[in-house]
Structure 1
């Protein structure tokens, strides 16, 4: 089931991460980085749910929640680094429907989102969840990758990278952007990790890894997943013929 979610989060990395997970669930999202933009976007788009950070510039999340409650019954999931009982009760008293403290698990966040949407009847039929870039298909629900009819075995990190790029084929991503979208809250992953994943994926996807046509380098920027196709390998390393 899909919905439109407003994400109000002043940390760009956290906002990108939440946006990515929402998209993988089949939802659309608007992302803003301060409380004033959150109020304006809420009035303009009328989202199905608001993921609201407490600590934001211009207008903080508590005041945003207070204003939203005067104008709408939209479900509100608050995020905060504050973990005291008083802070939690204040957020709930202002009308928040749920409350999560940072750092949080993105998967738990998505479970809370699903619960709130179901509880409030704010979902509609979901679009096709399979991501495509030329002959490459990535299925986030089944956690599978196919190149034509060949199944490509990927590590979790490689899969996250492919799913991120397949969601926006032909877009050039910098290493920093890919790192923000694939590392979650793990601070020990570096930009070098992205290069290693790309190197390994090219061995699995490309007819000639030295001349990639799927996962290509954009000089001065980073990488993109191209929709241009070449003849798929007969049985490339790391692939098995799908049954």
Structure 2
């Protein structure tokens, strides 16, 4: 049975959807408050997030943005907000689909299965890539493995290394690294980035002074070769 987290403050709609989906082997856990829903997502495993946008205490767009950064989970926006800007922002922030209210629950069920099929295919491809790589990222636990051995990383080291891994061979400038890393001040000096790169090399390179994996590109930045 599929397990879905729903964050929806319209309790009548939540009950209707939950009853319908459970008849089709989809278990729904609903929270009408976004912070409570995000806490549940941090401690439990779900196959998909169904998210309303108009929520108390925190707008659904911000919820979408935060969840997409922290979790690799399919997200469907279910909202009565029809503004094009909301739809565009939701998709830019990490949503995979946007279904405007009102809708037939059968359409929602079809979208759920369609989205999960796409995710399963993508995960299968990623698994194959991981097998071919000496680096492996566990996004749930935020751990990185090098040659099947877990690397002890600070938050900044994790963010920089996973960024380099995400686009192997791509050269990232120091400025781009600072911008993409949440725990690093974008105004940080180049030297602070170099220090973190040095620490990473010490943890994965046989000879940090002659790196094989994290390569310096003179006058530009760094790239990962692996």
TM-score by length of 1: 0.48
Higher helix share: 2
Deviation at 1:84, TM superposition (A): 2.3
Question: RMSD of aligned C-alpha atoms?
Answer: 1.3
Structure 2 distance, partners of 1:21, 1:7, is 14
- Secondary structure of 1:111's match? helix
- Secondary structure of 2:87's match? helix
Give every structure 1 segment of 4 or more consecutive aligned residues whose post-TM-superposition deviation is greater than 3 Å.
none
Deviation at 1:110, TM superposition (A): 0.8
Task: Please show how residues 129-208 of structure 1 align to structure 2 within 5 Å.
Answer: none
Matched with 1:64 is 63
Contact 1:78/1:98, CA 8 A, preserved across alignment: yes
Matched with 1:80 is 79
Matched with 2:41 is 42
Structure 1 distance, partners of 2:51, 2:64, is 8
Structure 2 distance, partners of 1:18, 1:30, is 11
TM-score by length of 2: 0.52
Deviation at 1:15, TM superposition (A): 0.5
Higher relative contact order (CA 8 A, sep 6+): 1
Name the count of aligned residue pairs: 121
Matched with 2:17 is 18
Deviation at 1:46, TM superposition (A): 2.2
Matched with 1:168 is none
Deviation at 1:10, TM superposition (A): 0.1
Deviation string 1:64-122 (CA, Å, 9 cap, x unpaired) is: 11111111110000011111221111110110000011111111111111111221129
Structure 1 distance, partners of 2:31, 2:15, is 11
Unaligned runs of 5+ in 1: 123-243
Matched with 2:115 is 116
